Chains A and B, each alone.
Chain A
Amino acid sequence: MNLAYYPGCALHGSSNDYEQSLRACLATLDVQLKEIDDWICCGATAAHSLNQKLAVALPARNLALAENQGFREMLAPCPMCSMQLLKARKALAQDEALRRSVSEIVELEVRGELQVLNLIQLFELIGLDALKAAVKAPLASLRAACYYGCLLTRPASVVEFDDAEQPRSMEKIVEALGGKTVDWNYRTECCGAGMTMASEQTVLELSHKILSNAAAHGANCLVVACPMCHVNLDMKQANIERHYGVRHAMPIYYLSDVVGLALGFKPEALGVNRHFVCSADAAARGVGTSDAGVKASAPTKAAGPKACATGKA
């Protein structure tokens, strides 16, 4: 399968571990990604908060670039990007005058016919049976709290994906890989999104509730498909623990991490060792300690506190 690829800024920045794991998985699953030439930022929260025209024009230019480069389908693994792309596409499809004026603004004809896929949809397209057939190390020790956050399923009229209140698509993938999933309450609550820098308190409060609820329902890890969710739940986890005086020690995996582990990749090959919440924490939660195939080599002592030198999942 050949697919246009829109990495977005996060996957080429501090969430490059997400790109590492999804590239590893997709190469094995015979999906060729072609990064669209000269893509630009989708504008994210800043654009839709400050300027409505930019919030349409920036994603529209990317749609046009991919279309002009001959693609009909594009993977956008960041839900912020994919939502913005879909929202622009919808706005242009409903208003021919807007489509023409935006085409002039971005100096490219935007047809708005490109299909935009999130990572879960791509795995669905590959097929659960094909995934199952490729499993080399079933995730038997995983008790995953699948966390969707906001923009994978909302706004429903824009993304038209799964059920906005009770999504199940990620659970189905994890279960196909031999993992267990838990029922919990915060699957579609917000983690604080892009407020990481500007309003840390918002992130600490919302993400603390998510981590606490997942643990209370017996999860030994969270599975996410969003770089911002990963930043808030993984990178900020130490701050959350300090702020609330608790110990979460909850490993946060990208969906492509757990797929990759099931496909037999070592954690290092997926960038799992570069997460903030590290292998020792994962082991403490019982991840990878059963007799399952995911069992990696014996944990070696990490180089320093929180140095995730040996990922184990």
Chain B
Amino acid sequence: MRAQSIWQCVSCQTCATRCPKSVDCAGVMDALRQLSVERGVATPEQQRIVLFQKAFLRNIRRNGRLNELELIEEFKLSTFLHDRSISFLLKDATLAPKLMKRKKFHLVGEKAHDRAVLARIFARCMDNSRL
């Protein structure tokens, strides 16, 4: 459960596709990730990836659709509070103007209209676990 490989896995599905016994290895990785977060045993090296996935889901719960700017801000902030790395905090700061110049960047992201239903869907799926 503390193995690096659980969070290093990029879910490329190659293992599941090639398994001669048709084991859904990628699905096993998903299950291990879920258990690892539930039990709070992810190691510090793995935390950045966990924090990213959590920030992603909070963003969806709030907006219905991903707001990339908000996600990056939230991910960077939660990572900084976790590991106090200023270099990581500032690492992608130069990306924003480059994306803006290419009109690939939205200051105001899209939102789904019915966001109340999202809150209910998340509550039903997540039981008592927090994001």
Interface contact A51-B57, CB-CB below 8 Å: yes
Q: How large is the interface on B (under 10, 10 to 19, 20 to 34, 35 or more residues)?
A: 35 or more
Q: Is B98 an interface residue (CB 8 A)?
A: yes
Could you say which of B31, B57, B101 contacts A54, with CB atoms under 8 Å apart?
B57
Measured between C-beta atoms, what is the minimum distance from B90 to chain A in Å? Answer: 13
Q: Given A38-B113, A40-B112, are A192 and B49 also a contact pair (CB < 8 Å)?
A: no
Q: Which residues of B contact A276 (CB under 8 A)?
A: 98, 102
Q: Which residues of A contact B89 (CB under 8 A)?
A: none
Could you say which of A9, A16, A105, A275 contacts B65, with CB atoms under 8 Å apart?
A9
Q: Is B120 an interface residue (CB 8 A)?
A: yes
Q: Which residues of B contact A155 (CB under 8 A)?
A: 13, 16-17, 24, 26
Q: Is B77 an interface residue (CB 8 A)?
A: no
Could you say which of B17, B68, B72, B124 contacts A105, with CB atoms under 8 Å apart?
B124
Interface contact A50-B14, CB-CB below 8 Å: no
Interface contact B13-A13, CB-CB below 8 Å: no
Per-residue B-contact encoding for A51-87, CB less than 8 Å = 1, 0 else: 1111101100100000000000000000000000000
Q: Is B126 an interface residue (CB 8 A)?
A: yes
Per-residue A-contact encoding for B31-45, CB less than 8 Å = 1, 0 else: 101100100000000
* Tally of chain A residues near chain B (CB < 8 A): 58
Q: Is A198 an interface residue (CB 8 A)?
A: yes
Q: Which residues of A contact B53 (CB under 8 A)?
A: 45-46, 49-50, 198
Per-residue A-contact encoding for B75-117, CB less than 8 Å = 1, 0 else: 1000000000000000110010011011111100110111001
Q: Is A41 an interface residue (CB 8 A)?
A: yes
Question: What are 12 A-B contacts defined by CB distance under 8 Å?
Answer: A13-B66, A14-B104, A16-B103, A16-B104, A52-B34, A61-B121, A150-B14, A154-B17, A155-B16, A197-B75, A198-B52, A275-B102
Measured between C-beta atoms, what is the minimum distance from A258 to chain B in Å? Answer: 19
On B, residues with C-beta under 8 Å from A are 8, 10-14, 16-17, 24, 26, 30-31, 33-34, 37, 48-49, 51-54, 56-57, 60, 64-66, 68, 72, 75, 91-92, 95, 98-99, 101-106, 109-110, 112-114, 117-118, 120-122, 124-126, 129, 131
Interface of B is mostly: helix
Q: CA separation between A107 and B118, bound complex, in Å?
A: 10
Q: CA separation between A38 and B121, bound complex, in Å?
A: 15
Q: Is A190 an interface residue (CB 8 A)?
A: yes
Q: Given A15-B104, A199-B48, are A50 and B54 also a contact pair (CB < 8 Å)?
A: yes
Interface contact B104-A47, CB-CB below 8 Å: no
Measured between C-beta atoms, what is the minimum distance from A53 to chain B in Å? Answer: 4
Interface contact B30-A12, CB-CB below 8 Å: no
Interface contact A202-B8, CB-CB below 8 Å: yes
Q: Given A12-B65, A190-B14, A199-B48, are A51 and B120 also a contact pair (CB < 8 Å)?
A: no
Measured between C-beta atoms, what is the minimum distance from B66 to chain A in Å? Answer: 4
CB-nearest residue of chain A relative to B14?
A154
Q: Is A171 an interface residue (CB 8 A)?
A: no
Q: CA separation between A9 and B92, bound complex, in Å?
A: 20
Q: CA separation between A105 and B119, bound complex, in Å?
A: 11
Q: Is A193 an interface residue (CB 8 A)?
A: yes
Measured between C-beta atoms, what is the minimum distance from A1 to chain B in Å? Answer: 26
Interface contact A41-B64, CB-CB below 8 Å: yes
Q: Given A154-B13, A154-B16, are A54 and B125 also a contact pair (CB < 8 Å)?
A: yes
Q: Is A134 an interface residue (CB 8 A)?
A: no
Q: Which residues of B contact A192 (CB under 8 A)?
A: 10
Interface contact A38-B68, CB-CB below 8 Å: no
Interface contact A50-B57, CB-CB below 8 Å: yes
